[in-house]
Amino acid sequence: MKTSRFALKGLNVLGLLIVIAIFATPFVWMAVTSVKSLSETITFPPVWIPETIRFENFALAWDSGPFLRYFVNSLIVTLSILVLQLFTIVPAAYAFARYRFFADRVLFALTMITLMIPTQLIFLPVYLQFSSWGLLDTHLALILPFAANAFAIFMLRQTFKQVPEELLEAARLDQASEWKIMYMVMVPMAKPTIITLLLFSFITHWNDYFWPLVMTTTDASRTLPVGISALTNVEGGVAWHIMMAGNMILVVPILIIFFIAQRHIIRAFVYTGVK
């Protein structure tokens, strides 16, 4: 009886280790490949420990295109989206949570419909729109459609509704303006929700490939994921070590942030997923 329980426990740990391996091995393999030589990538069976660690692969990947440009573009686009969202989401969520106005139901329904429309559905007409406005291949084309976020408005409205009314009454007695109440009383109360939403937004847009792929035509406005994807067709055939080195530049910072702030990030995604 005792030995079988012990065996079961061992089996359980072994199973868990296999689960970890299924998710960790690909990343380890990416790291190993990124410091190999070309000849070490085209041997079978594969080599696990390269003869010399070639850090120059990262420089080669970085220099294979205007990666500084891509990086700056990614930064501009993502940060602009975050800032704009702060200014559109907070007032909208506040109005939907605290005011009854003539068209509030219609406008809220419109927000909820938007929540259900994926970018994969609207890219063609939006592309045509941007083309007629002369905005194709600009940062604005990557920023404007995401200047507001229906999902974030919905979430923040729920949080704002839970702020006790007495707190607002007290602020109003102090003659605080509505705008002041919104940003000085409501926003601090909803800080965890707002941080969660911003984190979620940051990761989504930093990683986004589809929208910048469709809306950009030159390196001037391409973002990091689109730039990295171009490593698949480097001249002179496939160079897996350079491709993996390029992807390491994209993946490692996110993984480091993930392992430092794992609890917050998981909460951000699960929380936004469940509600």
Partner 1 sequence: MSRWLERFRPYLMVAPAIIVFVLFFIYPIGYMIYLSFHEWDFISPDKQFVGLDNFAGLSEHPEFLKSLENTFVFTFFSVGITTVLALLLALWINRPTRFYGFVQGAVFSPHIISLVSIAMLWMWLMDPQYGLLNWGLEMFGLPQSEWLASPETALYSIILVAIWKSIGFNTLIIIAGLQSIPPHLYEAAALDQSSRFTSFAKITFPMISPTLFFLIIMNLIGSFQVFETIDIMTQGGPLQSTNTLVYYIYEYGFRFFQLGYASSAGVILLIVLSILTVLYFFLMSRRVHYQ
List binders of partner 1 among 27-56 (CB under 8 A): 27, 29-30, 33, 41-46
Counting contacts by CB under 8 A, is residue 197 touching partner 1?
Answer: no
Counting contacts by CB under 8 A, is residue 124 touching partner 1?
Answer: yes
Answer for which of 49, 99, 165, 188 binds partner 1 (CB under 8 A) is 99
Query: Hey, which residues between 62 and 91 contact partner 1 (CB under 8 A)?
Result: 87-89, 91
Query: Hey, which residues between 129 and 168 contact partner 1 (CB under 8 A)?
Result: 129, 144-145, 147-148, 150, 153
Answer for which of 6, 120, 170, 180 binds partner 1 (CB under 8 A) is 120
Answer for which of 77, 81, 95, 186 binds partner 1 (CB under 8 A) is 95
Q: Closer CB to partner 1, residue 59 or residue 112?
A: 112
Say how many residues touch partner 1, by CB under 8 A. 87
Q: Can you read off the two tokens belonging to residue 252?
A: 């490692």
Query: Hey, which residues between 198 and 237 contact partner 1 (CB under 8 A)?
Result: 203, 206-210, 213-214, 225-226, 228-229, 231-232
DSSP symbol at 230: G
Q: Closer CB to partner 1, residue 96 or residue 190?
A: 96
Scanning 57-65, 102-110, 159-167, 189-197 for contacts with partner 1 by CB under 8 A, the matching segment is 102-110
Q: Can you read off the two tokens belonging to residue 224?
A: 């990091």
